[in-house]
Amino acid sequence: MIHAQPAADATRLLAGLLEARTGQQIAPSRYWRIQTALAPLLKSEGIPDLDALVAVIMDPENEKLLKESLEAMLNNESFFFRDTAMFASLRSDTLPVLRERRKARRTLRIWCAGTSTGQEAYSMAILLDSDRASWEGWKLEIVGTDISASMLARARAGRYSQFEIQRGLSVDHMLRYFRQDGEDWVIDPRLQKMVQFREDNLLKPRGDLGRFDLILCRNVLMYFGPETRHIAYSKLVKALEDDGLLMLGAAETVLGHTDLFCPTREMRGVYGKALPVRG
């Protein structure tokens, strides 16, 4: 019981650091996750407990360990074609609308913000490649960003376990776009070339990624508090072409969270700019 208070202080402090740096909130009822998420790091660093970890990462010299600790606390859940109905509507509605809007310049730029281990960006690449004939002669660009360097390293490698490959991917897509290597499955280099991965914090972008025709920001902002969500929406609206489209996760909406975007009448879960924003 004597140690209960310091550990509680350590978890609260770690949750506060996570929110300040990434926007992600952890509710006090879920603070137990912090201990679980950090256990492997404590073990590999030979640090006895969370109090000791906090003491180490408060030293500015240990910024790398602080970053690794926060990355370990992030929710990185992702899988191929997550929320199949949304990918079906991308294929049947959203992409045809964008193809019509961009037919004069024949370029399409897509940003997967909070891409995690890459399944979302590769699902997008598969979707475009499966309909290659319609995109003949187009310049297609998919950019996947995430705050977590370790998740991005996995995304770039395009290597997935048997469990990961079976989550959401049809057997046909698995055999067409991946090759088995031992226990893992590795993405086809042709598909890998369609996607660029970059480290980027939605709240504090490192550089200008340019403007996009379609932004997928799915299952990221749902963990943000109102203030950081507002900052993130203002970054997304600036990065979107005036007639571009934003897709959120299946359980997310802009309604009640921002007035920078408004629902499109014909595409479920897809939003357009409420007003063109410059600058």
Give the range of 35-43, 70-78, 92-100, 258-266 binding ligand SAM by CB under 6 A.
70-78
Residues 263 and 255: beta-carbon distance below 8 Å: yes
SS3 50: helix
Instruction: Name the residue type at position 180.
Output: Q
Residue 269 touches ligand SAM, criterion: CB under 6 A: no
Site string for ligand SAM, 188-207 (x = CB under 6 A): -------------xxx----
Task: Kindly identify the residues of this chain, within the stretch 151-180, that bind ligand SAM according to CB under 6 A.
Answer: 151
Residue 114 touches ligand SAM, criterion: CB under 6 A: yes
Closer residue to ligand SAM (CB): 148 or 192? 148
Q: Which of 25, 35, 62, 75 binds ligand SAM (CB under 6 A)?
A: 75
Residue 82 touches ligand SAM, criterion: CB under 6 A: yes
Closest CB to ligand SAM: residue number? 114
Number of other residues whose CB lies within 10 A of the CB of residue 276: 10
Residue 15 touches ligand SAM, criterion: CB under 6 A: no
* DSSP conformation letters of 71-125: HHHS-----TTSSHHHHHHIIIIIHHHHHHHTTTT-EEEEEEES-TTTHHHHHHH
Residue 146 touches ligand SAM, criterion: CB under 6 A: yes
Number of other residues whose CB lies within 10 A of the CB of residue 142: 24
Site string for ligand SAM, 213-242 (x = CB under 6 A): -----xxx----------------------
Residues 251 and 77: beta-carbon distance below 8 Å: no
What is the C-alpha separation between 164 and 11, in angstroms, rounded?
Answer: 30
CA dist list (Å): 81 to 17, 46, 182, 223? 32, 38, 24, 21
Task: Kindly identify the residues of this chain, within the stretch 39-58, that bind ligand SAM according to CB under 6 A.
Answer: none
Total residues binding ligand SAM (CB under 6 A): 24
Binding-site ranges for ligand SAM (CB under 6 A)? 22-24, 74-78, 82, 114-116, 120, 146-148, 151, 201-203, 218-220, 249
